[in-house]
Structure 1
């Protein structure tokens, strides 16, 4: 009996240690974004920073949808996504989140996210296009591309067409005589510059180098949207209206352009140790200036809005840290 008790105690200790190791891993897997975008650059910078100051972290490629699913299932520890998408996932409010995710929560809202519909200027002038609404209403044949399925860009682009215009862009654009492609940021930029695309749509930060890159290669127009359409999208996805103001890009010279707005966030598995998450937030915020050199939008990181409003769920370690900093 004594040996049996000792065996049970040893087994209990092993199980406890195993559970602790699962909650407090020796290394983290940070799921970034596709090559060429802000998420890819910032993911590497964050992984390097956390590896040096907090815990060894490996940056791997990912996408906004996949990062939520993988955090929920424990296949990754944390990664980039969009706050509105996390809200949809936590509610299980629609494909690909048919049932609520329980283990994916928010570590922080980082910076604003803009959805751009970049059109070649010669295409816009040829058809006298006034906005994305105009293009859709007139069913103009368009060679169109966005990022691949599973990315935040494709998710919200699909949502814009679906909730804003009541159509499936993958079918509608082809029916109008156009085409649909999926490309990386850099691949799409090259395609539109080489006149293989008419419109390239994606989500990225307020000041985006990829937009500037496209502008340097060809003349473009950023297609805006009518407020009624923006409101329809917001009612379903919780997005807001942002404006692209003159002076940011050379293609926007006088009138602000209304686009779908959201936030880039970091989603984290909820069963990750509270102190680990607290320390990740602390290291990130205390090195905000360094991170802004990788992606200038990190200057927008603000403790007062780092935690989104209920009912969106955030990690307890993140809530603790951001509340402490905001109170100072």
Structure 2
């Protein structure tokens, strides 16, 4: 009996020690105020506050969040897998490999869209993105602003996949601009652009808006270019499937990426396990406000080749 009581006491003391290792609260960094990531961050922080641990949510950005967490100024945040891969490797826009920040989970897919005016594609015989490069077309082109995951992925696809820089496009008589989703869509529809490219989730209102105003084609990305970027940045290959956009009548191959959560590496394993468990259990609730979150699944939650938190890996592996 005495031995049994000693064991119980030891277990109780161990539980207290483990609990004491948990921070009093966690800090979540999301995206710019008013954006989708900012709203999603607030929702996730609220879910975890209710079920696991108090959590605050603040603004941030895909690149900045990784650095903020690595410096211990935040605990968990949103980014994309491509940007996180760049951080791990210490390549542009990072000056050296970033330590202390690891993957928590891939949340939902991101697709690279190359949207071209149909009249321009027909006139110049453009069937794939590679045709633009091979023909050295004097194209009026725009993507999102530097510092965004979209600009990083699109620029590196041109550089690593096709061996072409923004300067090369300009040397053909082309033009490269940077714009928001809204401004880029308006420029394309007003015939001030020939092609607008960006990275976004599977169902995007900006693309539907463009299609409601002008005829467009969504260009396939050439296989060799997709693989070259995958080797450099850890991206993958997805297909834009028919049924969402009227301009897509057969699967369109493109660069694939993920919106993901990264987390402070030295957080306790049991705490991170509980965070993953709560995220999964509240998935349907979160997806009512953010439809893309319905894509969260154990098979894609953890990517190979990047550091992930042991607590998170333990949880997602148990669901496979």
What TM-score do you get using the length of structure 2 for normalisation? 0.84
Question: Displacement of 1:106 after TM fit?
Answer: 0.4
1:317 aligns with 2:311: yes
Task: Give the Cα–Cα distance (whole angstroms) in 2 for the partners of residues 318 and 296 of structure 1.
Answer: 23
1:304 aligns with 2:303: no
Q: Paired residue for 2:79?
A: 81
Matched-pair contact (CA < 8 Å) for 2:30–2:37 = no
Matched-pair contact (CA < 8 Å) for 1:31–1:76 = no
* Cα-to-partner distance string for 1:146-196 (whole Å, 9 max, x where unaligned): 112221111111110111111212x12222222222222223223222333
Task: Give the Cα–Cα distance (whole angstroms) in 2 for the partners of residues 186 and 49 of structure 1.
Answer: 31
Task: Give the Cα–Cα distance (whole angstroms) in 2 for the partners of residues 257 and 263 of structure 1.
Answer: 18
Aligned length: 300
Matched-pair contact (CA < 8 Å) for 2:107–2:258 = yes
Task: Give the Cα–Cα distance (whole angstroms) in 2 for the partners of residues 85 and 100 of structure 1.
Answer: 12
Equivalent position SS for 1:108: strand
1:112 aligns with 2:106: no
Question: Displacement of 1:105 after TM fit?
Answer: 0.5
Q: Paired residue for 2:6?
A: none
Check 1:28–1:198 CA distance in 2 against 1; reply closer, same or farther (3 A cut).
same
Question: Displacement of 1:251 after TM fit?
Answer: 1.0
Check 1:44–1:185 CA distance in 2 against 1; reply closer, same or farther (3 A cut).
farther
Correspondent of 2:98 among 73, 92, 101: 101
Question: Displacement of 1:85 after TM fit?
Answer: 3.1
Matched-pair contact (CA < 8 Å) for 2:82–2:153 = no
Task: Give the Cα–Cα distance (whole angstroms) in 1 for the partners of residues 75 and 41 of structure 2.
Answer: 13
Q: Paired residue for 1:279?
A: 274
Q: Paired residue for 1:167?
A: 164
Pairing 1:51-66 to 2, within 5 Å after superposition: 51-54=49-52, 55-62=54-61, 64-66=62-64
Correspondent of 1:153 among 150, 153, 156: 150
Larger mean CA deviation between 136-145 and 73-82 belongs to 73-82
Q: Paired residue for 1:7?
A: none
Matched-pair contact (CA < 8 Å) for 1:31–1:80 = yes
Check 1:35–1:156 CA distance in 2 against 1; reply closer, same or farther (3 A cut).
farther
Matched-pair contact (CA < 8 Å) for 1:65–1:85 = yes
**Which structure 1 residue ranges, 5 or more long, are not aligned?**
1-19
1:236 aligns with 2:232: yes
Question: Displacement of 1:235 after TM fit?
Answer: 2.0
Question: Displacement of 1:44 after TM fit?
Answer: 4.1
Q: Paired residue for 1:190?
A: 186
What TM-score do you get using the length of structure 1 for normalisation? 0.82
Q: Paired residue for 1:5?
A: none
Q: Paired residue for 1:266?
A: 261
Equivalent position SS for 1:124: helix
Task: Give the Cα–Cα distance (whole angstroms) in 2 for the partners of residues 191 and 28 of structure 1.
Answer: 38
Question: Displacement of 1:282 after TM fit?
Answer: 2.3
Check 1:308–1:287 CA distance in 2 against 1; reply closer, same or farther (3 A cut).
same
Question: Displacement of 1:200 after TM fit?
Answer: 1.4
* Cα-to-partner distance string for 1:255-302 (whole Å, 9 max, x where unaligned): 221101122211122233444433332222112112223332222211
Question: Displacement of 1:59 after TM fit?
Answer: 3.9
Check 1:70–1:227 CA distance in 2 against 1; reply closer, same or farther (3 A cut).
same
Correspondent of 1:181 among 177, 183, 186: 177
Q: Please tell me the root mean square deviation across aligned C-alpha atoms, in Å.
A: 2.4
